Amino acid sequence: VKNNEITLLDHKFPRDNWTNISENIISKLGRNLHISPYHPLSHIRQRIVNYIYMQFHNRIGNPIFSVFDNISPIVTVAQNFDSLLVPENHPSRKKSDCYYINQNTILRAHTTAHQSELISMGLNNFLIVGDVYRKDEIDSTHYPVFHQADAVRLCTAEEVFQNVDNSNELKLFEHRGMETDEKQGCHALESVKIMEHELKNTLVGLAQTLFGSEIQYRWVQQYFPFTHPSWELEVYYNDQWIEILGCGIMRQEILQKSGAGERIGWAFGLGLERLAMCLYDIPNIRLFWSNDTGFLNQFKVKDPNAAIKYKPISVYPQCKNDISFWLPENKSYSSNDFYDLVRDIGEDRVEQVLLKDEYTHPETKKISHCYTIVYRHMERTLSKRELEKYSRALENANAFSKERISEI
């Protein structure tokens, strides 16, 4: 075992005295909850992407935003901080705040880390969605891995002023201007105001799409090293103001260094968990990492806009048991009959019954079904004896299982 190397997502990285990534964190790499089918975070991602596609399209109706939702979370310190003008001594760089793989490599602390490289590639409108990593407090709303969506939109002067008559006199930039609360030194106030207007309209529209058109909101002045001016959007939900996103006019220096100096840009970043917890009434952030079907199946709907309210599942563990049998040949069989029987016997200890496997015998053409039965007691852990009692009772009662299959 080579201890001076660490393998993450099939790549090897040298360790050094900056390495502070734990096994628990490593185990989260590649889970990609935000693109797992039917996962609540995936529904939220899809809703955000759909909204942005709808808002920004070209003359023939095609979306102009590109979406990147599978970029590796392993980035350089330069990408995560330097490219975004985060000062050398900024607290967010501390070892106690992020997960360093080594001195130069880090698990991204925000999806904003990819902004400048995507701009350098020539992209003007894009979304980045992915997992981000931060050392943080432990409570019901904080977890060291969470998910963000970032957006960037860069515009030429022609685009910014397209709806303005006699726009010839309007400029994006101003020479030797002063930085004020309203704008960066290099920007002309008229271009900043139009971009700010589009940014805020876009984000209020997003909040209304997610929370409903009646949602109360407010803008709060904020500071980010990579935008100026900067704001946070707060919405009033369940009797409190919650911050849902950060945004601003991009620092022109970032655009210049990435080869887009002739444009002006806005950007925003938001966390998916917080939105999902509000929208679905999910009480604890750890639930997103659950493999428990009692959690996951509540979100198993095709439509990402479906109004789902999470119903708490028991804190006691699930116990699973498989049963398989040949289906009757002479009379019709419906899985529902079997489900009924399971409920009869297991009462409300049964949480789910899943058809796990179907098999047709190559010669006799007889069909067999294999079901997984998931039990869970709401007040205590089920004992092994009780489980055995249920499955024996089920085997005896199941008319179809008289010809049992020992092993398929």
Cα(323)–Cα(399) distance, integer angstroms: 13
* Residue 144 binding ligand PHE, by CB under 6 A: no
Residue closer to ligand PHE (CB basis): 133 or 295: 133
Query: What angle is formed at CA 132 by the lines to CA 126 and CA 133, rounded to 5 degrees?
Result: 160
* Residue 246 binding ligand PHE, by CB under 6 A: yes
Q: How far is the CB of 134 from ligand PHE (least distance, A)?
A: 9
Exposed (0-12), middle (13-18) or buried (19+): which is 271, by Cβ within 10 Å? buried
Residue closer to ligand PHE (CB basis): 79 or 401: 79
Cα(327)–Cα(368) distance, integer angstroms: 6
Which range touches ligand PHE (CB under 6 A), out of 91-99, 264-272, 279-287, 302-310? 264-272
Cα(308)–Cα(260) distance, integer angstroms: 42
DSSP 8-state class, residue 185:
T
Position with the least CB separation from ligand PHE: 269
Which of 195, 196, 202 lies closest to 217 in space, CA to CA?
A: 202
Which range touches ligand PHE (CB under 6 A), out of 74-82, 240-248, 355-363, 374-382? 240-248
Beta-strand relationship, 66-68 and 125-133: parallel
- Contact with ligand PHE (CB under 6 A): which of 143, 224, 338, 371? 224
Residue closer to ligand PHE (CB basis): 245 or 313: 245
- Contact with ligand PHE (CB under 6 A): which of 269, 287, 308, 349? 269
Q: Which two tokens stand for residue 304?
A: 């990402």
Those residues whose C-beta lies under 8 Å from the C-beta of residue 301, and which sit 6 or more positions away, are 38, 308
* Residue 150 binding ligand PHE, by CB under 6 A: yes
Q: How far is the CB of 237 from ligand PHE (least distance, A)?
A: 19
Largest CA distance in the chain: 89
Q: How far is the CB of 266 from ligand PHE (least distance, A)?
A: 8
- Contacts to ligand PHE by CB under 6 A: 110, 112, 150, 224, 227, 246-248, 267-269
